[in-house]
Structure 1
């Protein structure tokens, strides 16, 4: 199962904002299952984009911190740049479609 860039970007953003977020909370925020979230975190860990640390003073010994590494921060910036380019292209295409539809509606109204 491939991990798409949109999911990677969203996960990295959420983890950067709240490294103590649980996998269950992360899954809910991403709109995916806890199992897929675990897969996503493992993929990010394998790529060296995050590191996982246990809370030392936590009563819940299963609580973790998901910290972005310098490589993870760089990867997030690269993915965000590609995401922005893609969305800008989609926006331009949508604007062109809206202009065509307006012209069509105007032409139909005049006839």
Structure 2
């Protein structure tokens, strides 16, 4: 994604109220981006939906295959995050249990 594409994507997120931009006090050409509460909620909602969708898609795996796949995905995520300089967003990653139709763990979440 180039600079102009990134700028367009950020403009949409800003218009939706998901991020705010502020000038970088150390570099007048740069901006500092911050996620808003609305943006965090939207991200968490999207992550939960993706996780539930994945549960449905992986429902046919045996328990051993599911455990191995989970470990592999965790390792790939760690490698991606470390190579990109990003830190894990552990507070935004949903925990989805059970199979299709299981609403997941009780607690904060959409509609709760």
Distance (Å, rounded) in 1 between the aligned partners of 2:4 and 2:24: 22
Moved over 3 A (4+): none
| 1:47 correspondence with 2:19 | no
21, 32, 36: which one aligns with 1:69: 36
Structure 2, unpaired ranges of 5+: 63-112
Which structure: greater helix fraction? 1
Shift of 1:40: 1.0
Shift of 1:34: 2.5
Shift of 1:91: 1.7
Give the 3-state SS of the residue equivalent to 1:61 in structure 2. Answer: strand
> Hey, what does 1:33 align to over in structure 2?
2
Distance (Å, rounded) in 2 between the aligned partners of 1:53 and 1:62: 11
Question: RMSD of the alignment, in Å?
Answer: 1.9
Structure 1, unpaired ranges of 5+: 1-31, 97-111
Give the 3-state SS of the residue equivalent to 2:13 in structure 1. Answer: helix
Aligned counterparts, 1:13-32, within 5 A: 32=1
Please give the per-residue CA displacement for 1:28-82, whole angstroms capped at 9, x wherever unaligned: xxxx2322211111110010000000122x1x20111110111111111111111
67, 77, 90: which one aligns with 2:57: 90
- Count matched residues: 63
Which structure: greater strand fraction? 2
Query: Structure 2 length normalisation: TM-score?
Result: 0.50
